[in-house]
């Protein structure tokens, strides 16, 4: 018997590790220490992104036996069915033994209740300290981005990068682009437990601990006051503003409208706000500055002028008579608003369509090139050098490349076929319509190119990283791009015309006392399917003319007005703020308020909200997935995280809560509650659109 007992003890204590593991598990606790993410500053060292502490409620499913789950349900304000569903989902996702986030980012009220009784739920439940983002400014949400808990899709895409379930990562903005820099390194602490599962002291005074390493701090080129002004001016509108320092390529402001308060996607209410923003038809989560494409309209004419002059098919004295339209293709299109005879400078100033249709016709039919394919390829070469038709490489995710038509495109059987097209098939491109598409960032960069007389640096948000650029992420932003050597005299002629736009032409609304501004208006036709929409309003430019310090563009979608009506005054105010540090004078301050209160949200957005409201009232919320509604929104915004399950839960709850209520009556005034969520247009209560009272 003694031999048997000794053998059994030897087996239990030396050979088998089962009971040792159980004892260690009972007496020790392994705590993950999440590091602070790097702090982000603007160009004046104002903090844009910092950290605060919040807690996740963690669960190890294999230790649930004997836990008072009903008491936990009362604290979390959920029923037992929801509790059991969460447990099953965690087991499927991470197994029974691995701790997982049961309730993320606990609110203050839930934390207060849990702190008093947490020992009763141990060791199954415990609190995990988490450093989350806080935002000193209610601005720049689309630039900064947000962090969220990684899901299974994220873990699959980044399986070799050390993420585990429960980690948080940057999902959009520079939080995503600079994730490696900002995330830091996790630490581990080992704690002792007492007989009531309470943590008492560190195991062997922290001998086995590893310290968390905070992420690196970053300094950006963003001017937060300029960003705030831009967001104020773009309230109740769709569109964007991009402002660059042409000397460095640093982005001064990057406004996408509508926007949201960045704090809405941090903390305990993140899921609720994400669902509201994700489902909003105005797409506040879409960063329009890099993710939306438009025909550039008349802003494109400045580039046509550069090509015509450099190719030698015109000179600055070349004149064109316009009797109302361009007749070079026999169609009387495009039309022009100003009849008369114009040279290059005058044509830019009044934005004459016939002049630039003639210039591009000369470029494409230039006898210097043997075929139309080769002449168009040469034109494409210029456009690529100007930064169009390809991604610039900005350090903000989801950048679109736009589109510049090529000979291969027109030779395609789906278009015209080889040898079956000529300049008249794409004459509208000469004035920035038709096949050409650009992003707002590309237009702002184009202005930097013209301001610098033939070169640009890749636009970027981050200027420097404290502790060094360990991942070599900033090197590309130092390089100067000047693929085509165009003489300064060519640019001077274009500058003359652009200065005329603001001094006496279509862009008078951008004029600022004491500052010489070169600019160009654009009024852009656009369609959804075959249905023509109200025109987009464009304005772009740079200032001052000598030694330019800011290159900027603004687009107001579907305003139905000319580029000089809304976009030009917005740009003028932004330039004044940046170069003079403030906007002064009663009239100028009144104009800021007038523009910010102007409601230019197009009718199609309100119609989409009504459609979405009716879908939400369907009992089968999966209908929205079956019809591709959610996927379409998600693909448009190129979101990395899969929050679709959260959205469906919210839609289902909305549907359940409204089945006992009367559906809202139709509102003939378009004052729809769906657009009035705080997360979308936070600063002003939505107002009806007044008559056109903004003066040029």
Tokens of 286: 């879409």
pLDDT digit string, tens, across residues 71-108:
999 999 999 999 999 999 888 888 887 888 898 888 88
Q: How confident is the model at residue 646 (pLDDT cuts 50, 70, 90)?
A: low
Q: What is the rounded average pLDDT of the residues 145-174?
A: 85
Residue for token pair 């610098």: 452
Q: Is the distance from CB of 261 to CB of 182 less than 8 angstroms?
A: no
Task: Report the 3 state secondary structure along 158-209.
Answer: CCCCCCCCCCEEECCHHHHHCHHHHCCECEEEEEEECCCCCEEEEHHHHCCC
Q: For position 561, what pLDDT does the model report?
A: 84
**φ/ψ of residue 155, rounded to 5:** -60, -35
Helix H or strand E encompassing 376: helix 372-385
- E-only strand ranges, 330-454: 340-342
Strand order in the sheet with 199-202: 28-33, 187-193, 199-202
Rounded to the nearest 10 degrees, the angle between the axes of helix 586-597 and helix 567-580 is 130
Whether residue 123 is preceded by a cis peptide bond, meaning omega within 30 degrees of 0, is: yes
Q: Taking 60 as the threshold, does the pLDDT of residue 659 lie above it?
A: no
Task: Report the 3 state secondary structure along 79-95.
Answer: CHHHHHHHHHHHHHHHC
pLDDT cut 70: percent of the chain above it: 84
Q: Which is more confidently placed, 34 or 386?
A: 386
Q: Taking 80 as the threshold, does the pLDDT of residue 522 lie above it?
A: yes
pLDDT digit string, tens, across residues 384-436:
999 999 999 999 999 999 999 999 999 999 999 998 999 999 999 999 999 99
With H, G, I as helix, E, B as strand and everything else as coil, classify residue 107: coil
Q: Taking 60 as the threshold, does the pLDDT of residue 667 lie above it?
A: no
Q: How confident is the model at residue 663 (pLDDT cuts 50, 70, 90)?
A: very low
Q: Whole-model pTM?
A: 0.83
Q: What is the rounded average pLDDT of the residues 248-270?
A: 90
Q: Is 587 exposed, middle or buried (0-12, 13-18, 19+ CB in 10 A)?
A: exposed
Q: For position 695, what pLDDT does the model report?
A: 39
With H, G, I as helix, E, B as strand and everything else as coil, classify residue 607: helix
Tokens of 123: 């060791």
Q: For position 658, what pLDDT does the model report?
A: 40
According to DSSP, residue 589 is labeled H
With H, G, I as helix, E, B as strand and everything else as coil, classify residue 129: strand
Q: How confident is the model at residue 681 (pLDDT cuts 50, 70, 90)?
A: very low
- How many helices (H) and strands (E) the chain has is answered by 25, 20
Nearest-angstrom CA–CA distance, 493 and 491: 5
Residue length of the chain: 696
Q: Is 590 exposed, middle or buried (0-12, 13-18, 19+ CB in 10 A)?
A: exposed
Report the chain's mean pLDDT, rounded to a whole number: 85
Region for residue 366 given its phi and psi (left: phi exceeds 0; alpha: psi -120 to 50; beta: otherwise):
beta
Of 679, 302, 231, nearest in space to 522 by CA: 302
Q: For position 6, what pLDDT does the model report?
A: 85
Q: What is the rounded average pLDDT of the residues 255-273?
A: 86
Helices (H), 531-673: 567-580, 586-597, 603-616, 623-626, 629-637, 644-658
According to DSSP, residue 268 is labeled T
For CA atoms 240, 241, 246, 248, the dihedral sign is negative
Q: Taking 50 as the threshold, does the pLDDT of residue 691 lie above it?
A: no
Helix H or strand E encompassing 19: helix 18-27
pLDDT digit string, tens, across residues 278-337:
888 899 999 999 999 999 999 999 999 999 999 999 999 999 998 999 999 999 999 987
Q: For position 271, what pLDDT does the model report?
A: 77
Nearest-angstrom CA–CA distance, 392 and 400: 9
Helix H or strand E encompassing 49: strand 47-59
DSSP β-ladder status, 239-244 and 550-556: antiparallel
According to DSSP, residue 355 is labeled H
According to DSSP, residue 34 is labeled P
Helices (H), 53-135: 69-76, 80-94, 108-117
Residue for token pair 């040792």: 20
With H, G, I as helix, E, B as strand and everything else as coil, classify residue 254: strand
According to DSSP, residue 674 is labeled G
Q: Is the distance from CB of 267 to CB of 147 less than 8 angstroms?
A: no
Q: Taking 80 as the threshold, does the pLDDT of residue 242 lie above it?
A: yes
Using alpha carbons only, give the angle 651, 655, 661 rounded to the nearest 5 degrees: 145
Instruction: Give pairs for 627-633: CB < 8 Å, separation 24+.
Output: 630/278, 630/279, 633/278, 633/279, 633/283
pLDDT digit string, tens, across residues 185-237:
888 878 776 665 566 677 777 777 888 889 999 999 999 999 999 999 999 99
DSSP 276-290: HHHH-TT-TTS-HHH
């Amino acid at each position: 018997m003694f031999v048997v007992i000794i053998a059994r003890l030897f087996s239990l204590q030396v050979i088998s590790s089962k009971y040792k593991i159980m004892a260690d598990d009972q007496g020790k606790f392994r705590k993950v220490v999440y590091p602070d993410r790097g702090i982000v500053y603007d160009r004046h060292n104002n903090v844009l992104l910092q950290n605060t502490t919040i807690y996740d409620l963690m669960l190890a499913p294999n230790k649930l036996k004997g836990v008072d789950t009903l008491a936990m349900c009362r604290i979390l304000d959920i029923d037992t069915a929801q509790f059991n569903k969460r447990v099953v989902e965690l087991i499927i996702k991470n197994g029974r033994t691995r701790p997982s986030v049961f309730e993320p980012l606990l609110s203050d009220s839930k934390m207060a209740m849990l702190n008093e009784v947490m020992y009763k739920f141990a060791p199954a439940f415990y609190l995990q300290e988490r450093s989350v983002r806080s935002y000193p400014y209610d601005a720049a949400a689309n630039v900064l981005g947000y962090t969220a808990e990684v899901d299974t899709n994220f873990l699959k895409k980044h399986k070799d990068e050390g993420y585990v379930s429960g980690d948080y990562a940057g999902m959009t903005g520079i939080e995503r682009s600079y994730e490696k820099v900002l995330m830091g390194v996790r630490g581990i602490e080992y704690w002792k437990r007492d007989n009531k599962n309470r943590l008492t002291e560190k195991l062997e005074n922290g001998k086995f601990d590893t310290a968390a390493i905070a992420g690196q701090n970053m300094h950006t080129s963003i001017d937060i006051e300029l960003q705030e002004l831009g967001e104020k001016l773009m309230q109740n509108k769709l569109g964007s503003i991009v402002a660059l320092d042409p000397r460095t390529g640093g982005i001064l402001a990057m406004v996408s409208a509508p926007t949201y308060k960045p704090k809405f996607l941090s903390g305990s209410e993140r899921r609720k706000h994400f669902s509201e923003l994700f489902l909003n038809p105005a797409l506040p989560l879409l960063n329009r500055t890099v993710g939306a494409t438009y025909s550039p309209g008349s802003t494109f004419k400045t580039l046509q002028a550069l090509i015509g002059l450099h190719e030698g098919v015109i000179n600055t004295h070349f004149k064109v008579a316009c009797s109302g339209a361009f007749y070079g293709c026999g169609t009387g299109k495009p039309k022009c608003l100003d009849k008369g005879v114009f040279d290059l400078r005058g044509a830019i100033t009044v934005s004459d369509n016939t002049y630039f249709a003639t210039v591009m016709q000369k470029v494409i039919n230039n006898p210097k090139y043997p075929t139309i394919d080769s002449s168009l390829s040469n034109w494409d070469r210029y456009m690529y050098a100007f930064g169009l038709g390809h991604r610039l490489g900005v350090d903000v995710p989801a950048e679109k490349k736009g589109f510049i038509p090529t000979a291969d495109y027109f030779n395609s059987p789906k278009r015209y076929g080889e040898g079956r097209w000529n300049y008249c098939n794409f004459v509208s491109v000469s004035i920035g319509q038709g096949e050409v598409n650009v992003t707002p960032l590309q237009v702002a960069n184009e202005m930097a190119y013209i301001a610098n007389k033939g070169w640009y640096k890749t636009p970027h948000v981050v200027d420097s990283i404290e502790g060094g650029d360990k991942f070599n992420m900033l090197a590309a932003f130092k390089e100067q791009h000047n693929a085509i050597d165009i003489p300064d005299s060519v640019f001077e002629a274009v500058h003359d015309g652009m200065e005329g736009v603001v001094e006496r032409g279509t862009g008078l609304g951008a004029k600022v006392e004491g500052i010489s501004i070169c600019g160009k208006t654009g009024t852009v036709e656009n369609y959804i399917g075959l249905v023509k929409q109200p025109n987009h309003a464009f304005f772009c430019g740079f200032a001052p003319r000598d030694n330019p310090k800011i290159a900027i563009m603004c687009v107001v979608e579907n305003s139905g007005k000319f580029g000089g009506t809304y976009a030009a005054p917005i740009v003028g105010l932004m330039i004044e703020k940046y170069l003079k540090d403030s906007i002064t004078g009663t009239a100028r301050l009144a104009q800021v308020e007038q523009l910010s209160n102007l409601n230019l949200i197009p009718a199609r957005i309100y119609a989409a909200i009504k459609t979405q409201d009716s879908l939400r009232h369907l009992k089968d919320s999966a209908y929205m997935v079956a019809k591709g509604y959610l996927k379409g929104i998600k693909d448009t915004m190129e979101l990395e995280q899969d929050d679709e399950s959260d959205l469906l839960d919210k839609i289902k709850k909305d549907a359940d809560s409204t089945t006992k209520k009367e559906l809202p009556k139709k509102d003939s005034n378009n004052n729809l509650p769906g657009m009035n969520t705080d997360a979308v247009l936070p600063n002003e209560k939505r107002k009806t659109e007044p008559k056109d009272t903004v003066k040029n």
